[in-house]
Amino acid sequence: MVRKPRCSEAEVSIALALAESAKTVQQIRQAESILIPALTGASTATTAKILGISRSHVCLLRRLFRRAGEGTCADRELRGGRRHELISPEEERAVVEKWLVEAKSLGVATVAALCGRYEMAVGRKVPRSTVYRVLSRLGVQPPNRRS
């Protein structure tokens, strides 16, 4: 037999308020992940099917809702962004700025040269794709390979 999710009356009232004032799909789904089982007695699998998401995502939405508490919604992006860093953003900017100054004085800007500088700053080998992401993050146009 499947265990039914339990919700307190306070959670249901907060979820109702969230559903009425929701501005994003994430907030609506979060409120519905609480309301559907509480009001209909639906299981997690049924709630997931109704919402069109996986069972684990339903559990995640409930957990975020409970963690936020007091009528607020943990409305943060679940994915995306910078999770790991080899060096701090300030250090990255300094390495790229030194590379740009050197490139202007020599008249040649290559990603290979920046890759070498970045590897020295990090202290280990770094793929070129990482260097291209750094350039993109800082809004620097990578040099054209043909020129």
Residue 49: what are its φ and ψ, rounded to 5°?
A: -65, -40
Residue 60: what are its φ and ψ, rounded to 5°?
A: -65, -45
Residue 86 CA to its chain's centroid (Å): 18
Sequence length of the chain is: 147
Whether the CB-CB separation of 35 and 16 falls below 8 Å is answered with yes
Return averaged pLDDT per consecutive 10 residues of the chain, 147 residues in all: 73 87 86 90 90 91 79 53 81 92 85 91 92 91 69
pLDDT at 98: 92
Domain boundaries, the chain: 9-68, 89-138
pLDDT at 80: 63
